[in-house]
Amino acid sequence: MTNTSMPHNNLSGLKREDFQKTIDGKSTDLFILKNNKGVEIAVTNYGAVTLAIMTPDKNGNYSNVILGHDTIDKVINSPEPFLSTTIGRYGNRIAKGKFTLCGKEYTLATNNGPNSLHGGPKGFHAVVWDAKQINEQTLELKYTAQDGEEGFPGKLDVVMTYSLTDANEFLINYKAKTDKTTIVNLTNHGFFNLAGIANPTPTVLNNILTINADHYTPIDAVCIPFGEIAKVEGTPLDFRTPHVVGERINDKHQQIENGAGYDHCFVLNKKEAGELSFAVKCVEPNSGRFMEVYTTEPGVQLYSGNWLNGFSGAHGATFPARSAICFEAQLFPDTPNNPHFPSAVLNPGEEYTQTTIYKFGVEQ
Instruction: Report the C-alpha gap between 316 and 198 in whole angstroms.
Output: 8
Q: State mean pLDDT over 75-87.
A: 98
CB atoms within 10 A of CB 252: 7
Residue 206 CB contacts under 8 Å (≥ 6 apart), including other chains: 244, 245, 246, 284, 285, 286
pLDDT digits (tens, 9 = 90+) for 314-356: 999 999 999 999 999 999 999 999 999 999 999 999 999 999 9
Same fold, 16-88+120-183 and 194-362: yes
Give the count of beta carbons closer than 10 Å to the beta carbon of residue 316: 10
Mind listing the pLDDT tens digit for each residue in 128-171? 999 999 999 999 999 999 999 999 999 999 999 999 999 999 99
Asked if 7 and 15 touch (Cβ cutoff 8 Å), the reply is yes
Query: Are 177 and 353 in contact, with CB atoms under 8 Å apart?
Result: no
Q: Of 95, 99, 97, whose CA–CA distance to 344 is shortest? A: 99
Distance CA 192, CA 66 (A): 4
Q: Select the CATH number that applies to the domain covering 194-362 from these four: 2.70.98.10, 3.40.50.970, 3.30.70.100, 3.30.420.40.
A: 2.70.98.10
Burial of 340 (0-12, 13-18, 19+ CB in 10 A): exposed
What is the average per-residue pLDDT within 197-222?
A: 98
pLDDT at 350: 98
- Percentage, residues of the chain above pLDDT 90: 97
Instruction: Tell me which residues are annotated as active site.
Output: 189, 328
Looking at this protein, which amino acid is placed at residue 306? Answer: N
pLDDT at 9: 77
C-alpha 318/C-alpha 201 separation (Å) is: 6
| In the chain, where the domains are located | 16-88+120-183, 194-362
Percentage of the chain surpassing pLDDT 70?
98
Inform me whether the pLDDT recorded for 4 exceeds 80: no
pLDDT for residue 364: 78
| Per-residue model confidence (pLDDT) at position 5 | 43
Contacts of 317 (CB under 8 A, 6+ apart): 67, 197, 198, 199, 200, 201
- On whether the 16-88+120-183 domain is CATH 2.70.98.10, my answer is yes
Reported confidence tier of residue 8, pLDDT bands at 50, 70, 90: low
Mean pLDDT (whole number) for 229-234: 98
pLDDT tens figures, 32-45: 999 999 999 999 99
Quote the CA–CA distance of 7 and 9 in Å, as a whole number: 5
Looking only at the bridges linking them, the beta strands covering 277-283 and 311-312 are unpaired
